Structure 1
Amino acid sequence: MDIDSAIQIKDSEFDAYVECKKIRERWGRENAALQYRAGWIYQQILKLLCHRIIDSLSETYVVVDADVMFVRDVYFNPNNFQYNESTQYHIPYKKSYEKLVGEADSSALLLKRRQRHSFISHHMVFNKIIMEELIHHIESYHKKDFVEALLDSIDYEQKSPFSEWDLYGNWMHENHKDKCEHRQLKWLEIDFIPTQEKLQELSNNYDIVCSHSWSRNKAFAE
């Protein structure tokens, strides 16, 4: 990759916090059949901890999945948590959030958490201070390292047991509601790698286009 002002961070720079092989070993002990999913959890943890590794990050920063393309100009307000509401609702994500941050102190809050929309839209605005607040809360609640707590809180019988987007999004909604701003972008998920011409065409109707590798592999297999 050769993009002006871009920097590349090696996975090994995160080794003091997390290593993929250790996640794989843990999943292997719990459920060897889904051990291959360790990399998916690993990349989520890298996003959640990137502010500790990349010194040049501003206090507010945007994390974007590698298979996401912005096809229109999108403005981000650094003072607000601008989020999308998504239909990618998945109960295991809610349960892992509940285990990580603590049980709801009322049945009403539990119901509200479980009924809340998903925050998954393949990008998110993060704040360093709030991310550290969330990590500190989890470590204090579990009395152990953040990554250890996370790995103790996911269901290894589930192929997709955790979402970094839902973790941070739900934390913001419950603890920093005044900073939350619902700003619905239009996005499309496709099963092919688009040409520049196709991206230009899609920009007439969408802000974001997502070309997930798992979706492309499925389309190729079919």
Structure 2
Amino acid sequence: MPTPRANTTDLPPVAVLVPAAPKDLPGLDVCLSSVLRHCRNPISGVHVVAQAVPPSITALDRRIAWLDEPRCAPGTSEISAVLSAAGRDPANASWYFQQLVKLRCFDLLPRDTPDHVLVVDADTAFLRDVTFVDAEGRSLLSYGYPLYWRPGTRQHQLPPRHSALDAAARLVPDWHPVDAYSGMHHHVVFDRAILTDLAHRARQAHPGPFWRAFLATADPEKWTGASEYVLYRHFASRRFPHRVRERHLHGVDVIQADDPTGFGLPEVVRAARGSSLDVVGCHRFRHYAERLATMDYIPETLRQRGTVAPVPLLLRLHRGMLTISRASRPLAL
């Protein structure tokens, strides 16, 4: 069982939400153990959203509870039906499902949930103690990856086109990016007041359920036609600057095709031992080549040079600087 930290009593509590697809289960214990060990805020509960969770997972800590996917309406079948009715590819319904679970966290979790929910992707692990809400109640948001990948520099710029930016602007009136960082670093802290205001503005502009508006405004031509991280981080920073602080975390992510012979989160965590990294991730994507080919944040020069190709890639993010290399065994982090 992860050892609780003693230096958390002066910080606000958080609930933790971890959406987990079947492919994430082999490394889920690593993810959960890292959050329990390294989150400096008191944790009221850890809620794992999944089709099923092995008993060994909930046995890790009494605060871990399984939230069955069918209880998180709309489910993937309903999302798939909406996408199909609109003439869009229903194959990525699960991608939108996990985004909507995050954005609807305060509707899905118990009524006594704290006013801050730490959402963590199941293929992510923290390696150092991290504060997510400070003593003044401000959420600490990661700048995350640049919206336009320019390796080897901290001078980033907005891309000429970005589907997540366009989708957010369609969903929420007067939504604008505040800088050239995405906010995507595989975790986020949602503030109840901020997320409630965001959803309210979206519902005023798009009558009906928030989730339908989110789907309707996503880019129909892209596999990743919207981003919950981009949407929330820029909205929070622009509309509620007094309730958030922003920071860079030193991280490494391995991205690859969904292949059981590929890298796993435990392997990446082992390789990172003794490093200065704050967080690591190991992500397997269905339709990996298609995603890379259509991602707006990859400049064409990187594609032409083969820097970004459908092979396992190691992305390092340090104080806003991105480096990209091919991931190969043995991993050297």
The TM-score bracket by the shorter chain reads 0.7 to 0.9
For 1:145, the aligned partner's letter is P
Matched ranges for 1:78-157 at <5 A: 78=134, 79-89=137-147, 91-103=162-174, 113=177, 116-157=180-221
Contact 2:123 2:265 in 1 (8 A): no
* Structure 2 CA distance for partners of 1:201 and 1:148, relative to 1, 3 Å: closer
Give the number of the structure with larger relative contact order, counting CA–CA contacts within 8 Å between residues 6 or more apart.
1
Does the alignment pair 1:164 with 2:228? yes
Cα distance in structure 1, aligned partners of 2:228 and 2:215? 13
Contiguous gaps of at least 5 residues in structure 1: 105-109
Instruction: Tell me the residue number matched to 1:19.
Output: 75
Cα distance in structure 2, aligned partners of 1:128 and 1:96? 22
Cα distance in structure 1, aligned partners of 2:98 and 2:268? 30
Contact 1:94 1:114 in 2 (8 A): no
Q: Tell me, what secondary structure is at the counterpart of 2:64? A: coil
For 1:180, the aligned partner's letter is V
Contact 2:145 2:185 in 1 (8 A): no
Cα distance in structure 2, aligned partners of 1:88 and 1:199? 27
Identity across matched positions, percent: 22
Cα distance in structure 1, aligned partners of 2:202 and 2:78? 20
Q: 2:117 aligns with which of 39, 48, 61?
A: 61
Contact 1:186 1:205 in 2 (8 A): yes
CA RMSD in angstroms comes to 2.5
Cα distance in structure 2, aligned partners of 1:146 and 1:195? 36
TM-score by length of 1: 0.84
Q: What is the CA-CA distance between 1:169 and the residue it aligns to?
A: 0.6
Q: Tell me, what secondary structure is at the counterpart of 1:66? A: coil
Shifted more, 128-137 versus 188-197: the winner is 188-197
Contiguous gaps of at least 5 residues in structure 2: 1-56, 149-161, 256-262, 289-310, 313-327, 329-333
* Structure 2 CA distance for partners of 1:197 and 1:156, relative to 1, 3 Å: closer
Note the alpha carbon deviations across 1:175-213, whole angstroms, 9 max, x for none.
Answer: 101223122111101251254795374452211110112
Note the alpha carbon deviations across 1:80-118, whole angstroms, 9 max, x for none.
Answer: 1212223352710000100010146xxxxx5xx285321
Contact 1:30 1:156 in 2 (8 A): no
Structure whose residues are more often strand by fraction: 2
For 2:196, the aligned partner's letter is E
Cα distance in structure 2, aligned partners of 1:122 and 1:51? 19
Cα distance in structure 2, aligned partners of 1:83 and 1:154? 23
Moved over 6 A (4+): none
Cα distance in structure 1, aligned partners of 2:206 and 2:268? 50
Q: Tell me, what secondary structure is at the counterpart of 2:205? A: helix
Of the two, which has the highest radius of gyration?
A: 2
Note the alpha carbon deviations across 1:45-99, whole angstroms, 9 max, x for none.
Answer: 0011122121142111211001001111112225112122233527100001000
The count of residues paired between Structure 1 and Structure 2 equals 209
